[in-house]
Amino acid sequence: MSHDPADHHGHGDHAHGHRHPNQPDHDDTLTYYRKLEMAVRELLIEKNIISADEVRKVVENIESRSPEGGARVVARAWSDPQFKQALLEDATAACASMGFEMALYDVQLTVVENTPDVHNMVVCTLCSCYPRMLLGLPPAWYKSRAYRSRAVREPRAVLREFGLELPDTVSVRVHDSTADLRYLVLPMRPEGTEDMSEAELAAIVNRDSMIGTAVVAAPK
Amino acid sequence: MRAYHDLGGTPAGPIDHDEHALQLWEKRIEALLVLLTRKKILRIDENRRGLESLGSEAYFAASYAERRMLSMSNNLIMKGVISVEALAAKIAEIESRVDPLP
């Protein structure tokens, strides 16, 4: 099971020529980097810069965040036109009003809206910047060399690999994130959902539709 | 010249859709970055610059979590938050533990 960009490009498709020694780590292997993490963490605790309890709480907080947060934002935008307008004008403030504080990460959020004519997708070609507070940690493919390289050059081919074929009449806009500016896609509300409550709508919004590599399907 | 981390538009193969769940030590790296940012010891752009100055060899040899850890420790050393000597001594001490993994 591979999880990092180094693993992903070890298939003769890169120009560096060296082998990648790193293997997927298991929690029972004490690699150099695991030792480095332990050492830095313990030194910071000894210096009273952080506490073990704080680390535990932040890990729990990271584990508690998931695409359900973003799905709640999308469902509210679908249900409340005023909120939608506020979200498109100042997503950072609109999300803060729902309890999603970007300030924790020192970042701004922009929400881009899909329409019948425009499909948006998000990448971070330089790194792996991602709206973590709304979607949790990014999936491995988002951080991979292949996605970062190709999303901006051949987005339609990339979308096809995700099973999404868009007609030529739909423009594809690719948004390249930075450390300070993250993007969330507001997917189109599917037909047949007119009678659904905000909570019911949130339940049909999938993670990839908010990255732009999928759409939200109408409920069966 | 294009920097090594600037991958946009460069040739690459198919996308691996395997979803990798992070292990505890990888989540702890993220947690340390959050705490250091919150306490204004490291800024997010310093972390970015740290990743971009690892050099292409280290950047591509390391996994995502590993390169973030390297960038963080380099920054903490550069800023004088921890010393190289203290870090080396701590790593040696961890290696000497009978059962080092928590």
Question: Per residue of chain A (220 residues), what is the pLDDT tens digit?
Answer: 333 333 333 333 333 433 333 344 456 678 999 999 999 999 999 999 999 999 999 999 989 989 999 999 999 999 999 999 999 999 999 999 999 987 666 689 999 999 999 999 999 998 888 998 899 989 999 998 899 999 999 999 999 999 999 999 999 999 999 878 899 999 999 999 999 999 999 999 999 999 999 999 988 7
Q: Single out the catalytic residue among A51, A64, A66, A127.
A: A127
Q: List CB contacts of A12: < 8 A, sequence separation 6 or more.
A: none
A129 has catalytic annotation: yes
Domain boundaries defined on chain B:
44-96
- Please report the number of interchain residue pairs, chain A to chain B, with beta-carbon separation below 8 angstroms: 213
Q: Tell me the Cα Rg of chain B.
A: 16
ipTM value: 0.90
Residues of A in contact with B64 (CB under 8 A): 3-5, 128, 143
Contact (Cβ atoms closer than 8 angstroms) between residue B51 and residue A183:
no
Query: What are residue A160's phi and psi, to 5 degrees?
Result: -60, -35
Q: What is the nearest CA distance from B77 to chain A, expressed in angstroms?
A: 10
Distance CA A103, CA A138 (A): 19
Of A2, A79, A128, A149, which is the active-site residue? A128
Class of A67-211 in CATH: alpha beta
Tell me the domain boundaries of chain A.
30-64, 67-211
**What does the buried/exposed string (b/e) look like for A138-153 if buried means 16 or more CB atoms within 10 Å of the residue's CB?**
bbbbbbbbbbbbbbbe
Residue A128 annotated to the active site: yes
| Cross-chain residue pair B8–A152, CB shorter than 8 Å | yes
